[in-house]
Amino acid sequence: MSLDRPLTRNVRPDRTPTDLAAYEANGGYQGLRRALGKLVPAECLQIIKDSNLRGRGGAGFPTGMKWSFVPMENASPGHKYLVCNADEMEPGTFKDRLLLECDPHQLIEGMILAAYTIQADIAYIFIRAEYHLAAQLLREAIAACNAKGYLGENILGSDYSLTMHVHTSAGRYICGEETALINSLEGKRATPRAKPPFPQVSGLWGRPTIVNNVETLCNIPHIIERGADWFQALGLTADAGTKMYGVSGRVKNPGCWELPMGTPIREILMEYAGGMEDGYQLRGFLPGGGSTDFLTPEHLDLAMDYDTIGKAGSRMGTGTMIILDDKTCPVGFVTNLMEFFARESCGFCTPCRDGLPWSAQVLNDIEQGRGLPEDLHTLARQVTFIGAIGNTHCALAPGAMEPLASGLKYFREDFERHISGGHCPWCDGGVN
């Protein structure tokens, strides 16, 4: 049986982009025609709610519920905004790039439908500075849509109008956090905002704003066109739809594939990623980007979905796995991630601004063979205090603690060997 792969049906093996004509020829903009002709916004919202679509940006928040918080009455006239989060910078994550570069119109159609549902009149695509090709393709696609009447005044003859802009960023991982992103769109430093108020009520310029991930929005046209039941049935487990799964590290065939939600980890790793490179053994993996907890080979038969991975003590996050092999030092692995998060801290709150560099320094000392036995205690305390949600202003710092906490749990003897031996067992072998 061939798999239904709505998100990647226009993705070509050589990654050449799908233009407007090709997108339309393959059924593109049918969801938009259906919605603008026949469905009122409340009906669109109900379909998305019924579909059980959850946000693909990392947290898995139900999309329909998020949209339902946007005030719909005309009590406060003014702009409403839809923002696509195309900042993709989570270490080990490379799924949105594929969707952006290969099928920009799918995202744009999803954004028009999302904007219509919440009755936004302005939409932004916030894209990281380094995605030059994607930004160019999106600008061209928006121009083509403006010319064709899919964007602009009175879309397809309806009374709905929408303006869409591409905003290219200027760096910094924290811009991906949705309230930091909103500050950045306002031209400010990207420090996260306090919540509440939530952006759905008071976001960009104090107006109702929805921020969604690229992959989340790419699902919308298909759900509107083919219905909630169809979407639910795509998933193998309780979670609906397909998912862009990825594997990187020492595997034979690193890559990104659209598979049914809930595909077993073993299948993704062995069949799609081709298993480990010759001469390398699997020791562990981060299931969904750099700020998720390690899982180990004993977890391979779990279904890759939000609830299952959550119950196993990690998070599905972005769904792109990073593989730790036996020739890579686990302490070095965690140190690299901690240095990343320390560098990317926005500096707004003390536990993160001062705590993450401290963790990175302790880890680095251990990796360099200068560690002391009490360092493990220090790291454990940092995990407790910096890792607790609520002790920091945003989720960057708790996320940074996840690979450390689980690394200490699963690879403790490796940390201890660094300390007792006074050197990194991997570095001395000349491998790392």
Partner 1 sequence: MQSPLIPNLSDQEISAIDNEIAHAPCRAAVAIDALKIVQSHRGWVSDASLQAIARHLHMSAAELDGIATFYNLIFRRPVGEQVILLCNSITCWIKGASQIQQQISARLHIGLGETSADNQYTLLPVTCLGACDRAPVMLVGEQLHTHLDDAALELIFRSREEAEE
396 binds partner 1 (CB under 8 A): no
The reply to whether omega before 41 is within 30° of 0 (cis) is: no
Contacts of 331 (CB under 8 A, 6+ apart): 363, 366, 367, 407, 411, 414, 415, 418, 424
Interface with ligand SF4, residue 346, by CB under 6 A: yes
According to CB under 6 A, which one of 8, 85, 248, 359 is a site residue for ligand FMN?
85
- List CB contacts of 395: < 8 A, sequence separation 6 or more: 177, 389
Least distance in Å: CB of 72 to ligand FMN?
Answer: 19
CB of 111 to ligand FMN, least distance (A): 12
181 or 228, CB closer to ligand FMN? 181
x/- binding map, residues 123-162, to ligand SF4, per CB under 6 A?
----------------------------------------
Q: How far apart are CA 197 and CA 85, in angstroms?
A: 19
> Phi, psi at residue 155, to the nearest 5°?
-60, 125
Give residues 350-379 in contact with ligand SF4 (rule: CB under 6 A): 352-353
Task: Considering only residues 93 through 132, tell me which ones interact with partner 1, judged by CB under 8 A.
Answer: 93-94, 96-97, 128-132
Whose tokens are 């991982």? That residue is 173
Residue 257 β-bridge partners: 245
Q: Of 103, 177, 225, 402, which lies in the binding site for ligand FMN, with binding defined by CB under 6 A?
A: 177
Residue with tokens 């976001």: 203
Q: How far is the CB of 310 from partner 1 (least distance, A)?
A: 22
Name the residue nearer to partner 1 (CB basis): 226 or 250: 250
The H or E element spanning position 404 is helix 396-410
* Cβ distance to ligand SF4 smaller for residue 63 or 345: 345
Q: How far is the CB of 55 from ligand FMN (least distance, A)?
A: 2
Q: Do residues 207 and 80 make contact, with C-beta atoms less than 8 angstroms apart?
A: yes
Window 222-261: contact mask with ligand SF4 (x via CB under 6 A): ----------------------------------------
Q: Which residues contact 49 (CB under 8 A, 6 or more apart)?
A: 62, 64, 65, 68
The DSSP call for residue 227 is -
With contacts defined by CB under 8 A, how many residues of the chain interact with partner 1?
A: 51
**106, 213, 216, 392: residue in contact with ligand SF4 (rule CB under 6 A):** 392
- Here's the x/- map for ligand FMN, 49-78, by CB under 6 A: it reads as ------xxxxx-x-----------------
Closest approach of ligand SF4 to the CB of residue 299, in Å: 28
Closest separation in Å from C-beta 315 to ligand FMN:
12
- Please provide the DSSP assignment of 3-31 as one string: PP-STTTT--TT-PPP-HHHHHHTTTTHH
CA distances from 109 to 35, 179, 336, 405 (A): 11, 24, 38, 41
**Under rule CB under 6 A, residue 156 binds ligand FMN:** no
What count of other Cβ atoms lies within 10 Å of the Cβ of residue 330?
24
Query: Which tokens sit at 372?
Result: 């002391």
Interface residue with partner 1 among 169, 212, 216, 314 (CB under 8 A) is: 169
Instruction: Identify the residue among 189, 195, 377, 412 touching partner 1 (CB under 8 A).
Output: 189
Alpha-carbon distance of 151 to 163, in angstroms, equals 6
Q: Which residues pair with 118 in a beta bridge?
A: none
Exactly one of 128, 243, 393, 418 binds ligand SF4 (CB under 6 A); that residue is: 393
- Residue 189 and residue 51 in contact, taking contact as beta carbons nearer than 8 Å: no
Query: Taking CB under 6 A as the rule, does residue 392 contact ligand FMN?
Result: no
Q: Does 172 contact partner 1 by CB under 8 A?
A: yes
328 binds partner 1 (CB under 8 A): yes
Token pair of 430 as six digits: 């000349």
91-112 CB burial, b ≥16 within 10 A, e <16: bbbbbbbbbbbbbbbbbbbbbb
- Asked if 397 is part of the footprint of ligand SF4 (rule: CB under 6 A), the reply reads yes
Binding-site ranges for partner 1 (CB under 8 A): 88-94, 96-97, 128-132, 163, 165, 167-173, 184, 186-190, 205, 246-250, 254-256, 290, 320, 322-323, 325, 328, 332-333, 336-337, 340, 344, 346
Binding-site ranges for ligand FMN (CB under 6 A): 55-59, 61, 85, 87-90, 174, 176-178, 211-213, 216, 394-396
Binding-site ranges for ligand SF4 (CB under 6 A): 174, 192, 345-349, 352-353, 392-394, 396-397
